[in-house]
A and B are shown apart, each in its own frame.
Chain A
Amino acid sequence: MDPMIRQEVGHELEPAIDIRDLGIRYDLRLTKRTTLKGSVAGMLRRDPGRENHFWALRHLSFKLAQSESLAVIGPNGAGKSTLLLALAGILEPTEGEILTHGRVSTLLTLGAGFEQELTGRDNIDLAGAFLGVPQEQMNELAPSIVEFADIGQFIDAPVKTYSTGMRARLGFSIATAITPDILLLDEVLGTGDQTFRARSQARVRELVDRAKAIVLVTHDLTFVSEFCNRAILLEKGQIIQEGEPGAIVDLYRERVAQRRLLAEEDAQRFAAVPAVGAGPAPR
């Protein structure tokens, strides 16, 4: 028996997602210098006052009930994608814990992990194995995946012969074929050409309808009120506000405008004192 078979943990009253005091820390020493020389140099230059890690998320707690859909909005670097990766289990919490109930799926998997020498059909099986979907279920899903990807005879040709568009279509088709209980979306609503985009949006909507809970991370504020019934504003790894999508979007717009105003003031002040330096000193 394939041990990856998902057992339905059917506690309807349990929240779909329960995040408790979540913290995710990146170690800058590891991310910045991946050669031995860099590490040795880093050790020699160890400067006690300097931060060599940074918290992408810190002290984050929220619950998402079944049938709720949550939008996470915030400026670049707020930790939105990190949150999504943590929910998907790709990043492990440094602090706190994440409890999820049901199959979690990201639509991030657009063609990552395709084996160039394998045919499209073999890659469908490979993707299923990576995602831990049982073979029988993959066999059932395969015809609809092939049909939706719409790449004709190429399905039996090696993926290296595909165009970028074909590859993206097949990736999207695989990623959306498996219906998750908790759907994580990272602005993947526009893939490929115009006709495929329309079809792919319809397919995402279908998944949204079927999923028990949704987390959407986006810059496109129009989707927020349409897809979601709750929203969180994230800034610098912390929740600023949580509530109705409309109110949160307004708050976000307000803060963006405020920040722009501050930035403009700064720029003017900077322009008034020109001889300080060419720019901020590199850290």
Chain B
Amino acid sequence: MTAQTSEAIASSRPSVRRRGAIALIRAGVGEIVGRRRLTRYLVGAELKRTHADTAFGQIWWILDPILQMTVYFILFAVFLKTGVPDFPLFLFVAILPWKWFSATFSEATLSVTGRQSLIRQVQFPKIVLPTSAVIAGTISFGFGLIALGFVYLFYLDRLSLWVLCLPLIAAVQLVFTLAMGILFSALNAFFRDIQNVMSHALRLWFYLSGALVPLSAIAVSHPPLYAVLSLNPFAVLINAYRAVTYYETAPNWLGLGLVLLFSFGLLAAAVYVFKRAEPAFARIL
């Protein structure tokens, strides 16, 4: 194996501008794979950091979605009286993956700007930063699945073998999240506004993904709006999660396949954008 990424033997360093898109994407993927050890340490640090100062530690990943579900349940089932049966489960299977996405995406977006002093002092492949944020979030999501098991105890009649498809849907979401995280971590280095807008944009996105009310509720009344909202990758993901955990049916395989295809395309674009932007990080941060 040759030491391609080494800064040490760094003979001639060809400028990024002189390299093609495919070469850049390959270099980016090579860095992610080649610097696994660095990624592993960063993931460990991230997991320790996120909940180290709280009394319950990682337990918060189990408690937090349950509390969030309770809030929405009180709001929607008690006051607004939506007639969805077994509403807590219906909510929970959307809130849990959403929390994974939103928390991970936010962390990843800030991962490059949050390490400016290091970037100005050490030469290393910066792409490991958003990647490790996404991996750490994924491990935390694993803890969150314990909470799903807990909620299921009350709705055992909704449990079917389709639940076994959950990891497949999560894998699609992982590719999507990684692509978004890598892309926005690079963009945020240039436009810090992103981090200010993000929490609001994420909240709107959450509502538009049909997390609280089924999107099909507006299929009849507003067909064009429904058509547009159905293009939202996260609406497809939430529908799929709900299909296997709540409706006890197969997910929309075609929709999932399209989201996976789109996510891989986005990932390639994100790695390209990141690698193009990378040399500028040390200058602008």
Partner of A5, one of B3, B122, B190: B3
Whether a CB of chain A sits under 8 angstroms from the CB of B54 is no
Given contacts A122-B41, A132-B35, 12 further A-B pairs with CB under 8 A are: A7-B3, A37-B193, A85-B282, A90-B282, A91-B282, A92-B15, A93-B15, A103-B9, A115-B48, A118-B45, A129-B35, A131-B122
Cβ-defined contact, B282 with A102, below 8 A: no
Q: How far is the CB of B38 from chain A (nearest CB, A)?
A: 4
In the complex, chain A residues whose CB is within 8 Å of the CB of B284: 27, 30-31, 34
Q: How far is the CB of A133 from chain B (nearest CB, A)?
A: 10
Of the listed stretches B113-121, B136-144, B239-247, name the one at the interface; the rest are far from the partner chain: B113-121
Q: In this assembly, does A165 line the interface, its C-beta being within 8 Å of a C-beta of chain B?
A: no
B120 partner residues in chain A, CB cutoff 8 A: 85, 90, 112
Contacts A91-B282, A103-B8, A122-B41; A117 near B122 (Cβ below 8 A): no
B217 CB–A CB distance under 8 Å = no
- Nearest CB of A to B136, in Å: 12
Task: From B16, B49, B190, give the contact of A117 (CB < 8 A).
Answer: B49
Q: Count residues of B near A (Cβ-Cβ below 8 Å).
A: 45
> What residues of chain A have their CB less than 8 Å away from a CB belonging to chain B?
1-7, 9, 26-27, 30-31, 34-37, 39, 85, 88-94, 97-104, 106, 108-109, 112-113, 115-118, 122, 125-126, 129-132, 135, 158, 181
Q: Are A1 and B117 in touch, CB under 8 angstroms?
A: no
| Chain B, 1-35, CB within 8 A of any chain A CB | 1-13, 15-16, 34-35
Interface residues of B, Cβ cutoff 8 Å to A: 1-13, 15-16, 34-35, 37-38, 40-42, 44-45, 48-49, 52, 115, 117-124, 190-193, 279-280, 282-284
Instruction: Please give, as numbers and ranges, the residues of chain A lying within 8 Å of B13 by CB-CB distance.
Output: 89, 92-93, 97-98
Residues in B neighbouring A108, C-beta threshold 8 A? 121-122
Inter-chain contact A126/B283, CB cutoff 8 Å: no
Q: Is the CB of B38 within 8 A of A130?
A: yes
Docked CA distance A126–B40 (Å):
9
User: A156 vs B190: C-alpha distance in the bound complex, in angstroms?
Assistant: 38
Q: How far, in angstroms, from A26 to B119 measured CA to CA in the complex? A: 16
CB atoms of B41 and A129 under 8 A apart: yes
Ordered by A's residue number, 5 sampled pairs between the chains whose C-beta atoms are within 8 Å are: A3-B6, A30-B190, A100-B11, A112-B117, A126-B41
